[in-house]
């Protein structure tokens, strides 16, 4: 399943699937502050991309909640992995932190001159962020960003499972009818 909309001179896409299979310039890892890749999206990226991604994360060492750092994509089709640290549900100021994690990922891609980026539903797995709330925050942040000055031609939200895809699809229809 796939949906796409034009925003400014860019394309915003939603798709259901495995983010590690995408050939965008960068894929986003839903990271933790210590940049240790364990389960979920991070585990899948580590298994497919190789340990060199974790080694680079270890050299970076830390990223605050709401922040983002970039590493090699290792053996992935994507050249880079942007590690965005989303909030844990219940830690306080979660909406702003998720907005910043999304925004900082997009800015980092732009700073590197990348043309395409794929993001998962950050913080909705083990961090417990409600999917509908994450969809609204992440999509509205991306739409607002793409309306401004950007070199990004393609922003993909790669969602794991039908429920996540449908939640993002319905939200996108509300934001961009």
- Domains (range + CATH), the chain: 2-175 (3.40.220.10)
pLDDT greater than 90 at residue 145:
yes
Report the predicted TM-score, pTM, of the whole model to 2 decimal places: 0.96
Residue 31 bridge partners (DSSP): 85
User: Where does the pLDDT of residue 91 fall: very low under 50, low under 70, confident under 90, or very high at 90 and above?
Assistant: very high
pLDDT at 162: 96
For all residues of the chain together, what is the average pLDDT? 96
Lowest model confidence (mean pLDDT) among 39-43, 62-66, 97-101: 39-43
pLDDT at 40: 82
Residues of the chain above pLDDT 90, percent: 94
pLDDT greater than 90 at residue 71:
yes
What are the tens digits of pLDDT across the range 19-29?
999 999 999 99
Residues of the chain above pLDDT 70, percent: 100
pLDDT at 25: 98
pLDDT at 134: 98
pLDDT at 66: 98
CA distance 134 to 80: 23
3-state SS string for 90-151: CCCCHHHHHHHHHHHHHHHHHHCCCCEEEECCCCCCCCCCCHHHHHHHHHHHHHHHHCCCCC
pLDDT greater than 90 at residue 112:
yes
**Range 102-107 average pLDDT:** 98
């Amino acid at each position: 399943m796939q949906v796409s909309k034009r925003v400014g001179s860019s394309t915003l896409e939603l798709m259901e699937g495995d983010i590690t299979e995408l050939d965008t310039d960068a894929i986003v890892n839903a990271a933790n502050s210590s940049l240790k890749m364990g389960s979920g999206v991070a585990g899948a990226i580590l298994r497919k991309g190789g340990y060199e991604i974790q080694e680079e994360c270890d050299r970076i060492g830390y990223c605050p909640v709401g922040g983002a750092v970039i590493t090699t994509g290792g053996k992935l089709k994507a050249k880079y992995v942007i590690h965005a640290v989303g909030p844990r549900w219940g830690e306080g100021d979660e909406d702003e932190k998720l907005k910043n994690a999304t925004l900082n990922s997009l800015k980092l891609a732009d700073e590197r001159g990348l043309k395409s980026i794929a993001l998962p539903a950050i913080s909705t797995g083990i961090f417990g962020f409600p999917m509908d709330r994450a969809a609204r925050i992440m999509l509205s942040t991306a739409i607002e960003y793409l309306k401004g000055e950007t070199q990004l031609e393609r922003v993909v939200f790669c969602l794991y499972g039908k429920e996540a895809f449908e939640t993002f699809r319905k939200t996108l229809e509300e934001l961009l009818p």
